[in-house]
Amino acid sequence: MIDAAAHIGAVHLTIADLDRSIRFYEAHLGFTVHRRDERTAWLGAGDGDLLVLAQSPRAPRVRGTTGLYHFAILVPSRADLARALRRLVETETVLQGAADHGVSEALYLADEDGNGIEIYRDRARADWPFVNGQLQMGADPVDLDDLLSERGDGGGLLARGTVVGHVHLHVARLADAQRFYVDLLGFELMQRYGPSALFVSAGGYHHHIGLNTWAGVGAPPPPPGAIGLRHFDVRLPTDAAVADVMVRLRAAEIPIESVDGGFLVRDPSGNAICFVSRIPNP
């Protein structure tokens, strides 16, 4: 099994226009720019980077491929989710949907390049729906009026304690994805969602990674440099925990690339994951 303390770190995206993206993430979502250069910006909600945006003005925007379905911003409380919703309303941001998953309440939207975003808050683990010992996440409506009745203003930045709770990926084949993420990397299979999606995690969380074939079974990877996911970080507590994953991958003859503090690997659908034991240098 992967270390129970594993969690998602920063999500790295290719976008077309850095200034435009920064304006969106600051104004619509309340991110803070930690630092930037001519082509890259590091954003977060206090300590640590949650999002790294890399500009590529001629990057193609493609559909029907593997890659990012959405990345999910986990806010600390329901009041913080209400604040996020007020901000989206005030900035006239188009919502793509909202859902009560039993374990969480979530809002869905996309950035200026079409990258999918979820903003959500978790319910207490004791309140998560289990049937015969199996987690049962659903997709019921969110009472948005009730959510907006939570106390808190519509302004301000993302709350401290906000993290990337999970990422959700398009993959080519679920069976291949399960073998890679569960059998090889050691994530726990938490739930299947019909024949086309599954959810895996570390430490009993409802999911750190979602995997689906909604872009089509056998979907190809996007062309190099396309708009969307460059890679996402999985943070592990120690160098030894990173080395343990690396040993399993090498034994399976999976190609890996060394990076500062860890290594990068691609799943069978071409989605890139960077396993690190500390925040890598930019």
CATH number, domain of 176, equals 3.10.180.10
**pLDDT computed for residue 281 by the predictor:** 45
Whole-model pTM? Answer: 0.95
Residue 195 has pLDDT above 70, yes or no: yes
Distances (CA, A) of 113 to 53, 84, 120, 229: 11, 20, 21, 11
Residue 154 has pLDDT above 70, yes or no: no
In a domain, 103, yes or no: yes
Average pLDDT of the chain?
A: 95
In a domain, 267, yes or no: yes
Residue 153 has pLDDT above 60, yes or no: no
In a domain, 24, yes or no: no
Nearest in space to 211 (alpha carbons), one of 185, 245, 236: 185
Residues in the chain: 282
Nearest in space to 258 (alpha carbons), one of 276, 244, 281, 232: 276
Residue 82 has pLDDT above 70, yes or no: yes
Task: Give the pLDDT mean for 116-137.
Answer: 94
Q: List helix spans (H) across the chain.
A: 18-29, 78-90, 144-148, 174-178, 239-251
Residue 282 has pLDDT above 70, yes or no: no
In a domain, 99, yes or no: yes
Task: Give the pLDDT mean for 108-122.
Answer: 98
Q: 252: number of CA atoms within 13 Å, CB side?
A: 18
In a domain, 128, yes or no: yes
Task: Give the pLDDT mean for 114-133.
Answer: 95
Q: Which domain holds residue 107?
A: 57-276
In a domain, 48, yes or no: no
| Chain segment 54-70, per-residue pLDDT in tens | 999 999 999 999 999 99
Q: How many CB atoms lie within 10 A of CB 209?
A: 24
Q: 57: number of CA atoms within 13 Å, CB side?
A: 3
In a domain, 162, yes or no: yes
**pLDDT computed for residue 61 by the predictor:** 95
3-state SS of 207-266?
CCEEEECCCCCCCCCCCCCCCEEEEEEEECCCHHHHHHHHHHHHHCCCCEEEECCEEEEE
Number of domains composing the chain: 1
In a domain, 15, yes or no: no
